Amino acid sequence: MAGLSCAEGLARIGHEVVLLDKGRGPGGRMSTRRVATPLGEVAFDHGAQYFTVRDPGFRRVVDGWAAEGIAAPWSLPGPDAWVGLPGMSAVIKAMARGHDVRWSVHVDRIDRQSDGWWINAGQDSFGPFAAVVLAVPAEQAVPFLSLHDFAMAREAMLARSLPCWTGMFAFAEPLPGGRDMIRDTGLIAWAARNRAKPGREGPEAVAPEGWVVQAGPEWSAAHVEEPAPQIARSLLGALTSVLGHDVPAPVAATAHRWRYAMSAGLGHGALWNDRIGLGVCADWLLGPRVECAWLSGQQLARTILEAPLERALAG
């Protein structure tokens, strides 16, 4: 979200932008995972469950998504909550359209040479570029920043991310109790029935029922290195305990570890070194919300506009 938001801002003022992403496709922490079961495929929003809309600029963007039919409000979590349609990844896919995005590129080094920045990913190199923007978790930004701007690296070191274990469970029938959402109960920070969200009435409506169960940060940190099957059993047991009924055995169960799920935010918005053309945008610079990632990207694009990239290559 942050990187694409910054790319949109830069492209709007005439810059040519190339995005490199280690993922196989758009989504990141707004991914939608599809899991095959004996009773059909089930979709899970296994990262961010919804996003808030509070900033006027972000609201205008979200209104555009709504007009396209790729986002809708979801009142259950709160009055300012929205979701992507038919899954959370829909808005990321829409943002990625029209940009030059290279998927499955695992960047391992950035080098500033006489003709500009070069990006190295294994045997592949990309460049030269007038500037580089990092839109990654703080812990992943540190090794890149420490070689070029230690002040930025120090800021990234201060932003510690909290992990989150997410369980995905498919059931042959609706769970007892009639609940659609569980919040801050026991080890569960969040659990939701996927069909409770708007726009999930398509083919998934005849598929098994999907539930996402996310553990709290303290529990996730204490169990961060445990194997996924063991985590899935623990989260299923927690869901059963909260519902207070016998929960049938799922037809599919898996767990995903988000090692860098959330950061409290440093309040900086974005970081930019106009002398060398190096910037950072991410939610960890502002706050632990999808909306903050978008705002961070927009702020960095504005900052670059105010400090022309030509200065980055001078000298």
Per-residue model confidence as pLDDT tens for the chain (315 residues): 999 999 999 999 899 999 999 999 998 889 999 999 998 899 999 999 999 999 999 999 999 999 999 999 999 999 999 999 999 999 999 999 989 999 999 999 999 999 999 999 999 999 999 999 999 999 999 999 999 999 999 999 999 899 999 999 999 999 988 899 999 999 999 999 999 999 986 544 556 899 999 999 999 999 999 999 999 999 999 999 999 878 899 999 999 999 999 888 888 999 999 999 999 999 999 999 999 999 999 999 999 998 766 555 444
* Cis amide bond preceding 217, omega within 30: no
E-only strand ranges, the chain: 18-20, 32-37, 40-45, 51-52, 71-73, 81-84, 100-102, 109-113, 116-121, 124-129, 132-134, 162-171, 181-185, 188-193, 209-215, 252-262, 271-273, 278-280
Task: Supply the DSSP string of 227-292, one letter for each residue.
Answer: -HHHHHHHHHHHHHHHHTSPPPPPSEEEEEEEEEEE----S---EEETTTTEEE--GGGT-SSHHH
pTM comes to 0.93
For residue 211, give both structure tokens: 């539930």
